[in-house]
Structures are given as structure tokens and as C-alpha cells.
Structure 1
Amino acid sequence: MLKRLTITAATLALAACAQEPSPDGPAAETEATESTASRDFRSVMDDHWALSLEESPILAEQLGEESGRGRLSDYSLEGYWEGIEARRALEARLDAIDTSALTDEERLNHRLLSSEIAGDIEASEHPGRYLMFTTYSAPHLSLARVAERARLRRDEDVDSYLDRLDAMPGVMDSVIARLEEGISEGWTQPCEALQGFERTYRTHIVEDPETSVFYQPLVGNTRVSDDDRARAVTTIREGIVPAYERFGTFYEETYTPACRQTAGVGSLPGGDAFYAYRARSYTTTDMTPDEIHEIGLSEVARIRAEMTEVAGQAGFDELSAFQEHLRTSEEYYPKTAEERVSKASTIAKRMDGQMVNLFTVLPRMPYDILPIPLDVAEGTTTAYYSGPAADGTRAGTYWINTTKLESRPLYELEALTLHEAVPGHHHQIALSQELDLPPFRRFGGFTAFTEGWGLYSERLGMEVGFYDTPETNFGRLSYEMWRACRLVVDTGMHSKGWTRQEAIDFMLENTGLSEVNIIREVDRYITWPGQALAYKIGELKIRQLRAKAEEQLGDDFDVRLFHDAVLGHGAVPLSVLEEVIDAWIEEHKAA
């Protein structure tokens, strides 16, 4: 069990030692009230987690819950609204609990669960439910991932997988129905930002079912009978392939003509209110889009000055000349996909050896480094991370894009790898899953914390010997500038009416990213409003809290313990993180 902060545990302990209450006095009544409140709260947490598993059957199965077997997530609008009504009922039960009778830890859990449920309910007040896909995520891609991650170790695993195959056509039809309603409500994505999206479904429209990704988990598996294989072939041929064909026809003939013509959601009915909500939700702050935009401009100016200094160290009088040199010199780009993955692996191993200098607590779960599947690689970002399986049967994965190598410079790879693997996403997410926390906290979280930590982790490389050339340091700064520009272009498009090209031009002018990467990134921001705001806002808060701790603790500041404290409660809203670190500072002052 990992030790975590309890904000006022010492105060409570002193109070408990101060007097011995009579078993029949007022304290006994308080104890009974606390016990009732705690039981009621545990009941709500249990029911909320049961709802989460009902909505995420694959996670449920990984955790050993029989209810998850053979099922897929429900993408229908009926299922969506049932989930919202269930959350309203949970919210009412939470509101009825006397939080003064809970322990400190329970009060924190109550606060976080209330925030999560309230956020889900508030989301339902906006039409974002119709934006079902982005440049690299979509329900039909999630179905393909079910196949790619299937582990058929037991007979019941085979049965569960085949049942899921049977359910896939119905899921696809419910997705189409939800998107159709989105069209009727005037809520669609812009097709300009979804160039190449057709590949994501056409790759699954195959003549031979045995070549389908959905058949591959059965290949070479001795637990799979001939009848099982025949069943899968029939389902793929008569169910799944036609379902993907229906989706393709719908997308090309119905959705595409209805695509919105603007980059931002501000032009859509209720779009401004939706985006303001997204800005609050993803940053876990009350900042407005205008405030975030100004922070972005300020950060862009600061980072640009640092980039100019690094360009001078490399022998260039002009920043633009150094950027052009980096963009166009073949020496900075991998020749093969294998080279890119290999260099990322080397960087990761080097950082693995430095982790003890940054933390005292490390997760047990390892991670892999793999190429992004080709069905999504060309239309998605340069890398991303997926966490370990809940049951420990699959490591975390740092997925790296190995397409269009001429646009993926090696000098950026140190920052990218530290963000996605360690000390970034893998360290934080794998550690969170091993904490002694309620499951809604171990397997959930807040984007501003998670992505803020990822960006902060890039900077940590400076403290353990990375970025030792002007090129790699410029790569780090370029990545930081990339996240600062996100604040500007995301708010610019969705709140200020910027065009897609204006966003691309702003990033071309201010980052060292290749044009291909910039286009992919801008398209991501267009299709995923607000998410890109989380990185820089979260990182700035972590850096602010570290500066406060260093100033107040002086020589007693230990960066390893600070990092342990930041991560010790899982992913939390930034306001909660500030309270945690303030308490940690006071605890260390008193020690």
C-alpha cells in the first residue's frame, strides 16, 4: 500500500487524543452519524462504480466482473440518457449526505465524485454528444481495438469475444442513428479537418473474413474450435463488413454534405456556451476562453525568446533560419520506421535509469513502445499513450507514429518520449492504478492533471542530462511552444472565429513543427474542442506549486518527495492539487 497525504490527519489525531468521550455522550451520537454517513457514501461510490462498469464492459471483464462478458459499450442516445438519469439520482444521494460526518479522505472522495458526476450532467446540457469522432478516435475504431487487444486465454474468453463480434453491427447502427440526430440538430464536424477519415472504415471492408482484424485473435489459438472459427467468419462476412459498409455509405452520402463549414464550434447552435463549458471542464478552472487566449499569447512570447537564444547557440542569427534548417535537413529525420521506434526505445531506457533521481515511488507495471496501427496512423497525431490493462495482463503502451517519416524529426523525440512514457504518462497512470484509492479515482482522472503532468515531465529531462544539444533543446522548446500555441489557436478557432488556415499559419510562424504535424494537430483541435487547453494550463499550475514549495522549504525541498506528493492522490482537479501541495509544504515545515 502506498502512503498518501491526509490533509488534516495530524489535527484529527491530536483532537482524538485530547479527551476520552463517554460511550453514551454526544460523541457517541457523532460516531453513529459518521458511521451512517460513511455507509451511505460508500453505497453511492459502489453504485457509481457499478454504473461505470456497466457502461465500460471491457474494463469490467478485465477486472473479473462477469457482467462485462460478451458486451460492448452502448453508443445509442437511449443509453446515453439512461446514464445521465442514473447520475442525477446519484447526485441527489450525494447531496443528501452530511459531509461534516465524513472523514477527511471521504470528504475528498465525495468532492471528487460530486465534481465528476456534475460534469457529466453539465455535459448533457450541451450538444457535444453528437461529436462522436475526432481525427484519431471513433466508435468504429474502438471496435477494431477490441480485436487488437483481445486475449483469449480461456474458453469463456473465446465465447465472450464471439458474442462481442455478434454485437458489433448493432453498435455501428446506433452510432449512425446518433450522428443522424446530430445532423438534424446542426451539430457536425467539419470534413476539411477529417481528410483521410475514409481509410479508418474502408480498411475493415474485406472480401475474405479471415484477413479481417476481427478474425486475427482466433488465428493459431488452440482453444478456438472449428465451430468457433466458422461462427466468426459468418459474423464478419454477414454482420461486421456490411455494418462498416453502411457506415461508409452514411458518412460519404449523408454526413459529408452536412459537415459544418467553419473550424470552430462557435458558429453552431449553442456553440459558445458549449465551448466555455469545455474550457472549464478540461482545465478544471473557471477561466474563460479569453483569459486562456491571453495566457497563451504570453507564453508564446516567453518561449519564443528562449528559442531565439538557442538558435544563437547553434550559430544562427535568425530564429526563422534555424527553424528552416531543422525542417529541411535530412540528417534530423529517421530513414525507417524501425529507426524511429529504436531511438525512442533508447531514450526511454536512458530515462528509466534516471527515475530514482526524480521519485521515491515507482509503479510495478512496465510499458511497451509500438507503432500506431496503420488504419489510424496517417490521420492522427505523432504519438499517444494507452494505460495498462486493469487486470495487469497488458502493459502500458507508448504508441508512436511511423508514417510520413520526413515530417517526424529525431530532435523532438526526447521530449516526446519523456511525455508519453516516463516520467510522463506511463509513470503517472500506472502509478495511479496501483494507489490505494477508490476505483473511480484509480481508473479515471482529469485531463488538466494528466496532460499537465505529461508536459511538466518533458521539462524534467533538463534536470537529468537530456537536451544536451541545441537541436534537442530546441525540440523541447518547440514542444512547449506547441502546447502554448494550443491555448491560442484552440480558443482562436472555437471562440474567436479563426479559420483553419489562420491556426495553421500561427503555428507555422511560432513552432519548429513540420507543416504535416501542424496540420494534423490543428485538425485534432478542430474535432476535439477544448481538450488541447489542458496541457499548458496543467503544467503551469504544477510549476507554480513547485516554485512555491522550493521557496518555502529552501534547502529542505526534495524534488523526489514533491513529485511523490503531486502524484500520490491520482489525477485530481488543479484546485485540489494546490490544496494537497499546500498541506505537504506545511507538513514538511513542521517536521
Structure 2
Amino acid sequence: MTDTTRSDAPRTPTTLDGLADRYTQTLFDLDPAFATMMGKPGRETEYRDYSPDGYRAAADAARGTLDAAGRLRPEDDVDVVTLDALNERLGLALEIHEAGHDVGELNNIASPAQEIRSVLDLMPTDTAEQWSHIAGKLANIPAALDGYVASLRDAAGRGQVAAVRQVDTVIEQIGRYVADEGYFASLVSGARAGDSELPASVTADLERGADAARAGYGKLRDYLATELRPQAPAKDAVGRERYALHSREFLGSAVDLDETYAWGVAELDRIIAEQEQVAGQIKSGASIAEAIEILDADPARQLNGTEALRSWMQSTSDEAVAALGGTHFEIPEIMRTLECRIAPTQEGGIYYTPPADDFSRPGRMWWSVPAGEDSFTTWKEKTTVYHEGVPGHHLQMGYQTVKKDVLNSWRRSACWVSGHGEGWALYAERLMADLGYLDDPGDRLGMLDAQRMRAARVVFDLGVHLELPVPEQWGSGTWDADNGRAFLRKNIAISEGQLDFEWTRYLGWPGQAPAYKIGQRLWEQTRDDVRAHEGDAFDLKAFHTRALSLGSVGLDTLRRALLPVS
């Protein structure tokens, strides 16, 4: 199948588009926080139903949409891709629901324990009315958390409890949220609408809301510590059956897990060899570790303080937009604004949040700096700016947001596949090196350092969760959390605080971290196959435009959309 998604080709919405749009609206209705994330006004103070009933309602909506889609015939090539993506995404969501793996998720990065708080980061704070919405959202946190606890109990009753490591980590996170000078206290202290003081009534509502939120999270912490923790298994591995399901969830493709593990081991070896070559360019005969020491000690590559970090992120991002727009990528003017910010949390990690549907809120790159870290090096992070910004996530999500003339709202706003998105971002990092933007040996070593981390995650994640043999060059025996952490320490050049966060993340979110590097592999394979098929007519810029204009879809759907059926 093919999808011509051209910006200059007006298109009349089809019956299938209407179905997909209605499904998207149902998702907004079921999850007001999702609507907030997408910049949709209304119901700003509300949360989804995090109880088992809420998950059943979401499954019913997916099932009804799939049934209706099955009775429709595609009216054009865009419909063909939409139907393919709906069948893959919603069908898999129902498999996960029927296996009970959507209810009661708990980990250190992407579970309701964090989601209920993190949506506050996306809410505007320019007016007293907007702060009033935040106050209402805070007041509704206890009810959302009560529903979440009901789901945790439901999952526990079926023997599905997160590993004790994840339970302990979330308990610690909640402690930071509810502390006297923690997240909620900091959110409301000194709240202002621009340069103006807030009305006393709004300030009072914020304080009451913060108190309610702290109490709600305190209740969750008590439940986790006293009731759930005693049921939590010590073992981190989730096993092959569950892992295969989550791997498909994050990739939109069913890969051979054993072949992929072997490829990950070989890819890690290849990257290390390339690093060794670049280290010799930094200093003749230098090892990788010695080259890193030289780069870390170079004053020209150091940033002191989070404001210096934010400013450097912004200037690097702006330069990339200016350089790539119109040359290697089509970047509409409305997509050229990207805000770089320091996140209000200190949990570690760098992430991107998409623009509002009408771009009234721009895309944003966030850096969550762990407590106590105040110095940063540019050689290691330049590739990260390309990953999160342009040509990475910002370009990708900007395209699918701006394609109102072609894509229905589900494909633009509601369909997200990690392997597609994160795979593209890693593809973008390597592409920037290939285009000459990382020719400086330090910056190139930084890109390779990031690629090495992603390859190591393939080995670690598959190895630990499937309990596979450790490759001879990395030890002996079978992978587990402890020897896995030592392996990560050898392959990921980050602080101990960041390493702890990442290690815990991989253990608690099976299949997600490998989706970056595996997704990159599948993106590159698809590009190379399209190049082989088109021969001399192949144009890389046109390929990028066509591929990104599809929106985020599973990687098998992407391949089918870009290559003719053989």
C-alpha cells in the first residue's frame, strides 16, 4: 500500500476519517488529561477514571471502533494506512487488556503514579483563570489516586504486582512530591499570572488543592508501603510471553527476540570499535575513557548551572532549525518555534512534549536535572538536542500535528508508537552525523556515546527480562539486575543519579528502552529498501517528508505504506 500524504493535495475526509475522529474524541472524553496534553480546552480540572472500570471503558471504545472499521472499505490510499494502523494499534491494545497488563501499572517513569502529577507541567499559567484550573486539578488528585489504588488491588488479586524495586522507587518519588519544599509546595508558592499577583481566592484554592494533592499522594504512599509492597516480587524479569507483547506494543512490529538480542550484542561491539577510532582523533592513542576525561575537562565544552544548560539547548536547537529548514527537510514556519526548558522535577531524563493542536502551545524540550547536579558538558548533549528537537521529535510531532488537510485527528494526535517515534529520533541523531553536523570529534563521540547507550539497552533489556546468557565479552552466567547494572555502568557514561534512574526504568518498563535502537534499525532498513526500489529516482528529502507526513504508526504499517506490495 502507499500513502501520498502531500501538503498540496486537498482531501475530503472519508467515512473512516469520521470514525477515527469520533474515536479520538472518545479518548479525550475518557481522559481529560490527554485532552490537556493535546491543548484541547474544557474539563481542565478533571482526570480519567483510573479504576478498573476506566480501563474497561477504554477497551470497549477500542473494540467498538475496530468492529465499525471492519465494516468499512478504504476510499483512498490514506484510508488504507489508517485502517492498517487502527487494526494494529487497537487490536494490540485489546490483547494487552485481555491479558490484564494495562491495569495497575507501576514503574518509575510512565505509570499513573507519575502521570497524575506530570500533566500539571503542561497546564498554562499565564492568567488567574488558568491557575484556577490548576487548583481544581490539584483538588481532584485524591479521587484519581483512589481509582489507581483500586486498579493496583485488582491487578494484585490476579497475581500481577510490579517488582519490589519499582514499588520502593515510587514511594521515594512520592516523598519528594509531598515534602514541605517538594513539588506541590513549589508549584503553588509564589504563583503569579505574568507580572500580576493572583486574587486571594485563587491563592487560597491553590493552597487547598496542594494540601489535598499531598494528602492523596500520602495515602498512595501508605498503600504502597503497607499493602502492596509485601506482595511485590523480588524478581525484575517479566518473562518471554509478557515481554513479546510489550515489544509489539512499543514497536508496532513483531521482531524475532533472539535474533534481535544477537544483533544488539553485535551492534554494541561495532559502536565501541567506532568510538575507539574517534577517541584516537581526540588524542593519539587515547582510550575511550581517556578521551572522555579530556572532553569533560575542556572548559569550552562545559556549562555551569541549569540556566546555562537551558540557554545552550535553545541556541543549539534554533541553529538546527535554521540550517535544516528548506535544505534537508521541509519545515513549515509554524513548526519553527521550539521552547527549551528545565523541568520542574528532579527525577532525571530528557523528554519532549508536543505542540497544542493549533500550535498555541509550542513543542517543548524538557530536561529533568537530578538533585545536586549543576554542571554539564556540551560534547555529550549536542546529539540529545537533535534527538528531542530538530530533526528528531519536534520535527516528527510537528509534521503530524500540522497535517490537518490530510490526516484525521487520531493519526495526528492520538496514535503514538515508541519504536516509530524514538527510532526516528535515533535515526535523526545518526543522520546529523552523516550530514556533517557532528564532525567535531567530541560531538561525534557524544553521538556514539548515545548510540552505545541505546545498543546496551537492547542487550540489557532483552537479556534481563528473558533471562538470557551473558555474552562472553561481558561476563558469564545469566543476566539479572545486578550484573546488568555493572554492564550498564561500563557502557553508559552518565552520572550515578542518572544511571540509577535509567536502570530502574529499564527494569520496570520492559520493551520500551530497546524500541529506540530497534526502531532506528527498522527505520534504516525501510529507507534502504525504498532507495533500492526507487534507484536513481530516490530523494532523501522527499523520503523524509513522505515518511513523516504519515504520522506515528507502527513500524510494520510504516513499511507497508512506503513500499509497494511485492
TM-score in same-fold range (> 0.5): yes
1:127–1:328 CA distance, 2 compared to 1 (3 A): farther
The CA deviation at 1:488 is 1.0
Inter-partner Cα distance in structure 2 for 1:126 and 1:409: 44
* Deviation sequence 1:250-280 (CA, Å, 0-9, x none): 23333333332122212xxxxx321111112
1:335–1:196 CA distance, 2 compared to 1 (3 A): farther
| Residue 349 (structure 1) aligns with | 318
* Deviation sequence 1:39-95 (CA, Å, 0-9, x none): 4x3553243122211122144467787763532122111111122123222222222
In the alignment, is the contact (CA less than 8 A) between 2:423 and 2:517 conserved in 1?
A: yes
Give SS of 1:212's match. Answer: helix
* Deviation sequence 1:284-312 (CA, Å, 0-9, x none): 22213222211211211221221222122
| Residue 478 (structure 1) aligns with | 449
Give SS of 1:73's match. Answer: coil
1:233–1:312 CA distance, 2 compared to 1 (3 A): closer
Q: Which moved more, 1:348-357 or 1:123-132?
A: 123-132
Give SS of 1:402's match. Answer: coil
Inter-partner Cα distance in structure 1 for 2:14 and 2:179: 55
1:7-26 superposed matches below 5 A: none
Inter-partner Cα distance in structure 2 for 1:286 and 1:426: 27
| Residue 399 (structure 1) aligns with | 366
Give SS of 2:102's match. Answer: helix
| Residue 386 (structure 1) aligns with | 353
Q: Which moved more, 1:435-444 or 1:533-542?
A: 533-542
Q: Which moved more, 1:334-343 or 1:74-83?
A: 334-343
In the alignment, is the contact (CA less than 8 A) between 2:343 and 2:368 conserved in 1?
A: yes
Give SS of 1:357's match. Answer: coil
Give SS of 2:178's match. Answer: coil
1:490 to 461, 485, 501: 461
Unmatched tracts of structure 1, length 5 or more: 11-34, 267-271, 587-591
Inter-partner Cα distance in structure 2 for 1:230 and 1:62: 26
1:336 to 305, 311, 314: 305
In the alignment, is the contact (CA less than 8 A) between 1:285 and 1:574 conserved in 2?
A: yes
Give SS of 2:504's match. Answer: helix
Inter-partner Cα distance in structure 2 for 1:397 and 1:227: 31
| Residue 81 (structure 1) aligns with | 56
1:118–1:262 CA distance, 2 compared to 1 (3 A): same
* Deviation sequence 1:380-426 (CA, Å, 0-9, x none): 32x11111123423211111243354885431111111001111001
1:336–1:234 CA distance, 2 compared to 1 (3 A): closer
1:452 to 415, 419, 423: 423
1:243 to 189, 198, 216: 216
What TM-score, normalized by structure 2, do the two folds share?
Answer: 0.85
In the alignment, is the contact (CA less than 8 A) between 2:342 and 2:368 conserved in 1?
A: yes
Q: Which moved more, 1:337-346 or 1:319-328?
A: 319-328
In the alignment, is the contact (CA less than 8 A) between 1:450 and 1:571 conserved in 2?
A: yes
1:306 and 2:279 correspond: no
The CA deviation at 1:180 is 2.7
1:543–1:253 CA distance, 2 compared to 1 (3 A): same
In the alignment, is the contact (CA less than 8 A) between 1:333 and 1:407 conserved in 2?
A: yes
The CA deviation at 1:525 is 0.9
| Residue 537 (structure 1) aligns with | 518
Inter-partner Cα distance in structure 2 for 1:147 and 1:512: 31
The structure with more radius of gyration = 1
1:70–1:288 CA distance, 2 compared to 1 (3 A): same
Q: CA RMSD in A?
A: 3.5
1:290 to 253, 258, 273: 258
Aligned length, in residue pairs: 543
Letter aligned with residue 408 of structure 2: P
Q: Which has the higher contact order (CA 8 A, sep 6+)?
A: 2
1:182 to 126, 149, 155: 155
1:61-72 superposed matches below 5 A: 68-72=43-47
The CA deviation at 1:485 is 1.5
Inter-partner Cα distance in structure 1 for 2:58 and 2:488: 39
In the alignment, is the contact (CA less than 8 A) between 1:147 and 1:213 conserved in 2?
A: no
What TM-score, normalized by structure 1, do the two folds share?
Answer: 0.82
The CA deviation at 1:199 is 4.7
Inter-partner Cα distance in structure 2 for 1:230 and 1:208: 18
The CA deviation at 1:190 is 3.1
| Residue 27 (structure 1) aligns with | none
Inter-partner Cα distance in structure 2 for 1:163 and 1:559: 48
Unmatched tracts of structure 2, length 5 or more: 469-478
1:535–1:326 CA distance, 2 compared to 1 (3 A): farther
| Residue 147 (structure 1) aligns with | 120
1:258 and 2:231 correspond: yes
Quick check: which one's helix share is greater? 1
Inter-partner Cα distance in structure 1 for 2:40 and 2:373: 42
In the alignment, is the contact (CA less than 8 A) between 1:453 and 1:542 conserved in 2?
A: yes
1:47 to 15, 19, 22: 22
Letter aligned with residue 173 of structure 1: D
1:363–1:454 CA distance, 2 compared to 1 (3 A): farther
Letter aligned with residue 430 of structure 1: G
1:565 and 2:565 correspond: no
Q: Which moved more, 1:476-485 or 1:505-514?
A: 505-514
The CA deviation at 1:349 is 2.4
The CA deviation at 1:457 is 0.7
* Deviation sequence 1:486-519 (CA, Å, 0-9, x none): 2111101111262122222223334544554443
1:28-177 superposed matches below 5 A: 39=15, 41-60=16-35, 68-97=43-72, 99=73, 102-130=75-103, 132-151=105-124, 160-177=133-150
The CA deviation at 1:216 is 5.8
1:373–1:133 CA distance, 2 compared to 1 (3 A): farther
1:394–1:387 CA distance, 2 compared to 1 (3 A): same
* Deviation sequence 1:536-579 (CA, Å, 0-9, x none): 12212222233344455555443221211121111122223223
* Deviation sequence 1:408-463 (CA, Å, 0-9, x none): 54311111110011110011111211113111110122211111110011112224
Letter aligned with residue 469 of structure 1: D
1:501 and 2:482 correspond: yes
Once the two structures are aligned, what percentage of the paired residues are identical?
23
1:340–1:203 CA distance, 2 compared to 1 (3 A): same
| Residue 28 (structure 1) aligns with | none
| Residue 22 (structure 1) aligns with | none
